[in-house]
C-alpha cells in the first residue's frame, strides 16, 4: 500500500496509529506530500481530486480517503471489528467520538489557515472566533466523554486532535480548563503507537 501523508497532519496520524496498532506499518510505503490549501498539488490530484492527505492506494490500486474510510479499511485488513466495533452502542460511541475529534480538527485547521496562510489584511476575526468557539465547546464535551474501556478509533482520533492542538496553539490552555481530559491524554500519548507517530515540532 502507498500512503500519502504529511508529518504534521493529524488526520494522517490517525492512519499511522491504526497501522501501528495492527502491525501493518511495514506494508505501507509512506510518501510525504507537501500541501497548501491554495497552491494545490498536481501529483496528489491524480490520485485524490480533493488534494488532501491522508490518501491511500491499496495493493489492488484503489484510492481511499478520507481518514475514517482509510482507518476502517486498515481495521478490516486486520480482521475487522477491532478499532471500529461491530454495529451497536459501542460502534456508535466510537464513531461519534471520532466525528467530534475530527470536527474540532476541522475548526482548528481553518483557524490555523486563517492565521498563517491568509494575507493579514484579509483575516476576519469573527471567523476565527466562530471556529474557535466550536473547538472549545467540543473540548468541553470531550471532558465529559467516557474514554476508558476497549481502545477504538474514538480515543485515537481524540489523541491525534490534542497533539495537533498542542502543535498549532500551544498557549490554548485546554489542560487547565479540562483536567480530566488532560490526565487521560497524559497517559494516552505514551502508548507506543502515539509515541511512534508524534509530529515533529514546527
Which residues are near a second copy by CB under 8 A?
36-40, 45, 49-52, 62-66, 68-69, 72-73, 76, 80, 87, 92, 95-96, 99-100, 103-104, 107, 118-119, 121-124, 126-127, 129-131, 133-134, 137-138, 140-141
Compute the least distance from the CB of residue 110 to a second copy, in Å: 8
Using the structure block, give the residue that is written with the C-alpha cell 473540548.
139
Of residues 44 and 194, the one with the C-beta less far from a second copy: 44
Of 34, 21, 145, 29, which Cα lies nearest the Cα of 71? 21
User: In whole angstroms, how far apart are CA 146 and each of 57, 93, 95, 115, 158?
Assistant: 34, 9, 13, 33, 12
Output 55 or 193, the one with its CB closest to a second copy: 55
CB 80 within 8 A of CB 107: no
In sequence order, what are the residues at sequence separation of 6 or more whose Cβ sits closer than 8 angstroms to the Cβ of residue 107? 131, 132, 134, 135, 138
- Nearest approach, Cβ of residue 77 and a second copy (Å): 10
Task: For a second copy, give the closer residue by CB, 10 or 138.
Answer: 138
CB of 191 to a second copy, least distance (A): 25
Amino acid at each position: 500500500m502507498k500512503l500519502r501523508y504529511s508529518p504534521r497532519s493529524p488526520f494522517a496520524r490517525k492512519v499511522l496509529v491504526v497501522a501501528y496498532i495492527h502491525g501493518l506499518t511495514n506494508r505501507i510505503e509512506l510518501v510525504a506530500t507537501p500541501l497548501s490549501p491554495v497552491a494545490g498539488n498536481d501529483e496528489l490530484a491524480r490520485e485524490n481530486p480533493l488534494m488532501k492527505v491522508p490518501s491511500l492506494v491499496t495493493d489492488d490500486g484503489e484510492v481511499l480517503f478520507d481518514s475514517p474510510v482509510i482507518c476502517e479499511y486498515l481495521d478490516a485488513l486486520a480482521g475487522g471489528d477491532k478499532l471500529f466495533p461491530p454495529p451497536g452502542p459501542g460502534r456508535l460511541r466510537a464513531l461519534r467520538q471520532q466525528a467530534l475529534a475530527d470536527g474540532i480538527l476541522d475548526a482548528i485547521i481553518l483557524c490555523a489557515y486563517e492565521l498563517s496562510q491568509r494575507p493579514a489584511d484579509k483575516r476576519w476575526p469573527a471567523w476565527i472566533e466562530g471556529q474557535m468557539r466550536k473547538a472549545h465547546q467540543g473540548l468541553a464535551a470531550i471532558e465529559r466523554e467516557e474514554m476508558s474501556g476497549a481502545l477504538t478509533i474514538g480515543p485515537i482520533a481524540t489523541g491525534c486532535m490534542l497533539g495537533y492542538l498542542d502543535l498549532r496553539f500551544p498557549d490554548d490552555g485546554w489542560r487547565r480548563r479540562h483536567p480530566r481530559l488532560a490526565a487521560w491524554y497524559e497517559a494516552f500519548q505514551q502508548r507506543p503507537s502515539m509515541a511512534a507517530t508524534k509530529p515533529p515540532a514546527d
